Amino acid sequence: MITDQYVIGVDYGTDSVRSVLINALNGEEIASSVFNYPRWKQGLYCNAAENMFRQHPLDYIEGLETTIKDVLNKGGVNAANAVKGIAVDTTGSTPVAVDKTGKPLALTPGFEQNPHAMFVLWKDHTGVSEAAQINEHAAKFDTNYLKYVGGIYSSEWFWAKLLRTLRTDEQVAKACYSWVEHCDWIPFLLTGGTDAAQIKRGRCSAGHKALWAEEFGGLPPDEFFSSLDPLLKGFTSRLFKETYTSDEAAGTLSAEWAERLGLTTDVVVGVGAFDAHMGAVGGQIEPYHLSKVMGTSTCDILVAPAAEMEGKLIRGICGQVNGSVIPGMVGLEAGQSAFGDTYAWFKNLLAWPLSALSASTLIDPKTAEALKDEMLAQIIPELSRQAALLPVEQNSELAIDWLNGRRTPDANQTLKGAITGLGLGSDAPRVFKALAEATCFGAKSIVDRFVQEGIPVKGLIGIGGVAKKSPYIMQMMADILGMPIRIHQFEHTCALGAAMFAAVVAGIYPKVEDAMAAMGRGFDAEYHPNEKYKAIYQERYEQYLKLGAFIESH
């Protein structure tokens, strides 16, 4: 008799963490739960004007415990006994300073409110000068240590953030024993780790953000970093040499966490990875199909057989790493630093009066707050509806989508967004349409780079919040890219991908492809390009490229 075999996938996003309880035999979602980070929601430890975005580890810990206990409660009386494995994905690069025991400094006395002792969120760009120095420094070496990260190091990544932190806060620098990605720390926490040297570092985060490569025998040598800044001397010896793919186990649930969650110590915990990489698996990625995880930013993932990538180095992307997505295949990552964030920025701009002028003499405060929430929720849907009625024209408003810098192609986080062609007739729907086009043009520039570098893109797979919620944006993307885009039907695709890896580490399936085949939920929508827009969008795209070149040159 086949008994229930459940797994839990935990997906840490920018604003919240989500856990899903999945039946590993067929991929059915038994329960899901979301926890919004309370400190992050209050805007604590952040300064958007300075591109500083930090998150407190307590937000992560509280969310982990709350959501897992919630899905187990929703799953029924036997759910906990049926759970065989847990796997975790997170945003990245989102690292933190830890002490020798592997504890984030923000959880130790004296550092509780220090933002430099907290996780440095992926979109924190305070390390732009450090990234520029790494790029300049790398050119001095005979070995090209940037060859597997597209040739350009980004301020969004591991080493730039470490160096910036060490330079900024002397007390943190003295207390920082090691530097750990969020996706590596959560499995370490769940398995009861007490030694930073024993943290199992994921191939995904190490290869795409920390310059780890098989060819280098691990990380670049200490000389590479210590000659950049003496503050980095000795750090490689306190980091890692070996890495692990996410089909491997980090360990089993510790007695403490088994008790806190109501599970057993037999539950296997997998090695962590970034959300888009596990999301690509949850979205049933295929070789040479670009999986686009579309949320606050986009992260674009493509996999290719390792044998077919021999001798190929792709310029200006976020890395190519063997086994970072599916073992035996090279994972290639690209993306846009602002996607949903672009629409959110415009929404907040339009909503300024609702927030700043919220006092009303006509209605009571509770009703005023409810009315404000109702109006805010309608802004993007109504903008999309109105923008969809506008004609596609060559000379309408044009925008550049670099509101949070440019991730790919060719990372440059100092770049800014722009809107041109404005006139007295430029109302909110017309500007929103220009911003939407810009995000889709940015997506096209990524596809074009892959193709220019000899990597075919055979199709698009859309996953994430924007893909599920905005038919307007998805149809525009199909039109601009000139290829169909399939939308994965599962709402929590990154968490489903984590659950697939949990099923592999628990021994339910021998390899990732088997878990994908058994647990994949298929696609519920497909957008096809409108041939009538092909020529006009090509003209608009060329205008976008020229405007972007002008912005960058100035």
| CA-closest candidate to residue 470, choices 393, 351, 391, 379 | 379
Per-residue confidence (pLDDT) for residue 2, from 0 to 100: 57
CB distance 482 to 451 below 8 Å: no
CB distance 21 to 9 below 8 Å: no
38-97 residue pLDDT tens: 999 999 999 999 999 999 999 999 999 999 999 999 999 899 999 999 999 999 999 999
**Tokens at residue 162, please?**
């470490």
DSSP 2: P
Mean pLDDT of 387-394: 96
CB distance 252 to 421 below 8 Å: no
Per-residue confidence (pLDDT) for residue 369, from 0 to 100: 84
CB distance 224 to 145 below 8 Å: yes
Per-residue confidence (pLDDT) for residue 553, from 0 to 100: 95
| CA-closest candidate to residue 254, choices 89, 510, 35, 64 | 64
Q: Where would I find the H helices in 176-230?
A: 182-190, 203-209, 222-226
Strand partners, 9: 20, 87
Q: Which amino acid is at 339?
A: F
Q: Please determine, for residue 1, whether its predicted confidence score (pLDDT) is greater than 70.
A: no
Global confidence as pTM: 0.93
- The residues, ordered by sequence, that sit 6+ positions from 303 with a Cβ below 8 Å of its Cβ are 280, 285, 286, 287, 288, 325, 326, 329, 330, 331, 332
Strand partners, 35: 17
CB distance 18 to 67 below 8 Å: yes
CB distance 463 to 414 below 8 Å: no
* Local confidence band at 102 (pLDDT 50, 70, 90 cut-offs): very high
Mean pLDDT of 105-115: 98
Mean pLDDT of 441-448: 98
| CA-closest candidate to residue 91, choices 401, 269, 341 | 341
CB distance 335 to 319 below 8 Å: no
What are the distances in angstroms from CA 389 to CA 136, 326, 342, 433, 468?
48, 42, 21, 10, 21
Given 3-state DSSP classes, what are the helix, strand and coil percentages for the chain, each rounded to the nearest 5? 45, 20, 35
DSSP 406: B
Choose the weakest-confidence range: 43-47, 257-261, 489-493, 528-532: 489-493
What are the distances in angstroms from CA 45 to CA 50, 176, 179, 186, 197?
12, 19, 19, 21, 28
The helix (H) or strand (E) run that includes residue 33 is strand 29-36
In angstroms, rounded to a whole number, what is the distance separating the alpha carbons of residues 203 and 498? 15
346-375 residue pLDDT tens: 999 999 988 777 677 788 888 888 888 899
Q: Please determine, for residue 3, whether its predicted confidence score (pLDDT) is greater than 80.
A: no
Q: Which amino acid is at 62?
A: E
Instruction: List strand residue ranges (DSSP E) for 129-184, in order.
Output: 178-181
**Which domains does the chain possess?**
6-283+491-521 (3.30.420.40), 340-489+524-553 (3.30.420.40)
CB distance 69 to 262 below 8 Å: yes
Q: Please determine, for residue 312, whether its predicted confidence score (pLDDT) is greater than 90.
A: yes
In angstroms, rounded to a whole number, what is the distance separating the alpha carbons of residues 47 and 51? 6
